[in-house]
Amino acid sequence: MATSARTGDEAGKVSLRDALRKARAETAERSAVIVDLRGAEIARLDLLKSRIEPLLEDLPKQVEMFDLGIVRGDPARLFIDMVAFVELAHDRRSFRFVQDTRYGRVVLADTGDMDEAVEAVTDYIGRRLVERERALAADTLTISSVAANQNSAAAKAAARVDRSARGLGAAVFAAFALGAVAGSAGILAFGWFWINGTTFIP
């Protein structure tokens, strides 16, 4: 009886070890599959990146809005600029082109065809360049109107200063002339009284 109990315990231990080995093997296989999926995801995004890069080479050098880069995360993303990126959808085959806006994320394109994804990114780049041109034109108009306003304000201030300086100069001259006349009258009066012998002391 004791031997049969021991064999039952040993059989239980052996089956537990087998179960652990089996579970570890399954986990390793799942991890390998996940790594393979991640590698395939990165490879598809890298292929898309290589199709988009020639478009950016045509841009003028002063345009630094676009910077392609793959961020390895969950999910991996190919960033086009600071607010737009491409990621693979849940089926790992479709490209989802997403833009972050102040109202949330907007899906610009969702397609399984790489050519359509490249076309969507190309359209986005074109729209962003037009937005940039408009912003620069608005800045130029704003700067020129501010400069014109500053110039007219400076001219008005200079005219006011000139007028006030002329007015101040006239007031100083009038005060000086009045003082000279009053001083001359005082000296003449003093001389008159001196000659006539009038004294002011009682």
Counting every residue, how long is the chain?
202
3-state secondary structure of 13: helix
Which residues 6+ apart lie within 8 Å of 69 measured at CB? 78, 79
* Pair of tokens at residue 29: 């296989």
pLDDT in tens, 167-177: 667 777 778 88
Distance CA 133, CA 84 (A): 19
Distance CA 143, CA 149 (A): 10
Give 66's DSSP letter: -
Distance CA 122, CA 128 (A): 10
* Pair of tokens at residue 50: 């290589």
Query: Kind and range of the H or E element at 78?
Result: strand 77-79
pLDDT in tens, 77-91: 999 989 999 998 888
Strands 84-88 and 95-101 turn out to be antiparallel
CA angle 76, 111, 57 (to 5 degrees): 70
Strands 84-88 and 77-79 turn out to be antiparallel
Q: Worst-scoring range by mean pLDDT, 13-22, 47-56, 113-122? A: 13-22
Higher confidence at residue 111 or residue 28?
Answer: 111
Higher confidence at residue 148 or residue 90?
Answer: 90
Residue 132 pLDDT greater than 80, yes or no: yes
Residue 63 pLDDT greater than 70, yes or no: yes
Say whether pTM exceeds 0.85.
no
3-state secondary structure of 59: coil
Higher confidence at residue 38 or residue 62?
Answer: 62
